[in-house]
Structure 1
């Protein structure tokens, strides 16, 4: 990690291993191979996580200035992947545990907060 003037921490763009580590801290299971034949394996395959990571990396790069890549952007990218995976298992985007059938937010407030200083402004 490199520090620029003003205490901005420059980091590498998170790869699959870094995102899997983040997901494990959030208690989201990721399995390295194919699910077992009995189909009781709960979690996401590496390939699924990689596809979501690639998509969210592209979306973040379109919405934000990503040079230099900071710790805040890295954390926001990991949250983006976590939120996208969480929404993936909800039919029609509706949370069955909610009595009102609430939909999870597509715009995570923490992601917005971390990316706000880096957002591209189009005039």
Structure 2
């Protein structure tokens, strides 16, 4: 089963590489096709990881930060929403500052407060 996981990860890497260099357009794949294929590969990889973890009796391995960032960067709006839904409970938006204290640089940091899920909630 590990060999199958490695094979799917290699396919995913090749798909992302070919898309980023523009060679998938040569075979008439459009953006929607690419993201559909990428989503399917992500589901296969997740399923295989969960199967391996259940067979070994261990919790599923954490997604590597590099892989998560690559999925975020290459993902469509729907895929990015799925990532946020998996890791984020909510975001609190605080009221704006008085105009005398208004500074655009830290605006996002001071007004938005994310509420992240715990590791147990993410793996559940």
| Bigger relative contact order (CA 8 A; separation at least 6) | 1
Higher helix share: 2
Structure exhibiting the larger radius of gyration computed from Cα positions: 2
In the superposition, the TM-score normalised over structure 2's length comes to 0.31
